[in-house]
Structures are given as structure tokens and as C-alpha cells.
Amino acid sequence: MIGGGIAYALWPLLARIHAGDPVALRGALERHASAFNAHPYLSSLAVGALARVEYEEHAPETIERFKTALRGPLGAIGDQAVWAGWRPFCLLTSILAFCLGLDARAAALGFLLLYNTGHLSLRAWGYRRGWREGLNVGGVLARSPLKQLASRLLPVNQALMGAAVALLLTRLPIEARAPEAIAGALLVGFGAYFLPSHGAVLAMSLLFGACLAWII
């Protein structure tokens, strides 16, 4: 998936390490261009660590095993901390701010600033710690606060989702803003929480139904 990108990122260092040895350089590039997958932001940790192990000239078999061992944790922790934690938190905060009267441009820009402060810090941290720890980077992941961040943001995001949808309904055009419609809608939302698979089909059907009811 991102093997080509990993090789591309490592290429300047590999070219320096294997200067004057084109066969070794080709071997190293081929090795890193092979299939690899991780969370895109935490791949910086992999790039930093792989750069270090290449710099220390570990055996190719060791590097291969190391890459394989990194894939799972980098993907799982990144998905939980960023896709399920940080990104929804920033999105929902921004939607709340908009619903409470913040200008749309400021809300969108605020989201980008807040989100990317975390995003770019994570990438920079990944490069630094990866390079510093090399083969020991697994321990860094285990000790990192990312897991804690993910578990702490779970309830916060669920509360924000509830608040955001209640406020968003009041920002809809007038036809959907009757208090009884909003109260009924929140009950439907609550019901859908308990029956997610059926709830999703029902909710999408309601949206299509809203269009049909209008037209028929």
C-alpha cells in the first residue's frame, strides 16, 4: 500500500549509505518498495526507525522481520488514536462551534488548525522517536500516550456527537426545526444507537423518504 512511499522517503539516506555501491542501493530500494501498510501519520515512526536500522547496517532479513512486526501495531494504534479519536473530536468541535454561531470560514479554518497541530506534531514525533530508537521502536509505541488518548476520547466523541446532532437539527431549514420533530428525531437517533445495522438502513430510508414525501 505505502511501500513505494516508504522507499521514496528513505531514498536520499539510502543513496548516501550505499554511495558507490549501486547493487546494494538497488537491493535496499527493492526491499523497502515491497508491500507495507500502516497508519499514514504513524508511518513516520516506521520511516525514522527503518532509516536508523539501515544506517546501522543491520542484515536485510532482520530489517524484513522488523518491518513485518511494525505493520500491525502502527495500523491499529493509529486507527484508534487518529481516525477514531482525534479527527472526530476536531470535526465535532468545529461543527458545534458553527452551530453555536461561529462563522463557517472560521469554523472550517479552526478545524484545520486544531487538527493539524496534532497531526503534524505526531508526524514530527514519529520521525524523531523512530530515528532515536531504531529496532526498539516497539517499546516506544507501547509506552506512548496514544492508546490512552484514544480511550479517553471515545466517550468525549460520543457526547460531542449527541450535542452536535441536537444543535445541527436547529440549524436546518425551517421545515425540520419544529420542537416535536427534533425531539422525535433524537429518540430515533437514540434507538439507532442500539440497532446500528438496522438503524443505518432505516435512517437512510428516512432521508430518501423525506425527498419522496415532498415530491409525491
Partner 1 sequence: MAGLDLSPGLWLILVALGALVGLDGISWPQLMISRPIVAGTLGGLLFGDPAAGFLSGALLEIVSARHPPYGAARYPETGPAGLVAGAAYANAGSAAGLLPLITVTLAGWAIGWIGSHSIQLQRTFCARLVGDTEAFGGDARALTRRHRLAMRLDAARAAFITGVLVVPTMVAARVAATFATPTRAHISGALAAAGIAGLAGVGARVLGGRWRGWPVFAAGALVGAVLAMVVA
Within residues 60-99, the interface with partner 1 by CB under 8 A covers: 75, 79-80, 83-84, 87-88, 91, 94-96, 98-99
As measured in angstroms, the least distance from the Cβ of 106 to partner 1 is: 10
181 phi/psi in degrees, rounded to 5: -65, -40
Is residue 147 at the binding interface for partner 1, with CB under 8 A as the rule?
no
CB of 1 vs partner 1, minimal distance in Å? 8
Footprint of partner 1 on 103-132 (CB under 8 A): 103-105, 107-108, 111-112, 115-116, 119
- Interacting residue with partner 1 among 68, 121, 148, 158 (CB under 8 A): 158
Q: Which residues contact 74 (CB under 8 A, 6 or more apart)?
A: 38, 39, 42, 43, 45, 46, 141
Give the binding range for partner 1 (CB under 8 A) out of 52-60, 61-69, 136-144, 181-189: 181-189
The span from the CA of 22 to the CA of 27, in Å, is 9
Q: Which residues contact 23 (CB under 8 A, 6 or more apart)?
A: none
Distance in Å, CB of 136 to partner 1, minimum: 26
Identity of the residue, 120 or 142, whose beta carbon is nearer to partner 1 in the bound complex: 120
Minimum CB–partner distance for residue 189 and partner 1 (Å): 3
Q: Which is nearer to partner 1, 29 or 149 (CB)?
A: 29
Size of the site for partner 1 (CB under 8 A): 97
3-state helix, strand, coil in the chain (%, to 5): 85, 0, 15
Is the distance from CB of 134 to CB of 56 less than 8 angstroms? yes
- What is the C-alpha separation between 143 and 210, in angstroms, rounded? 50
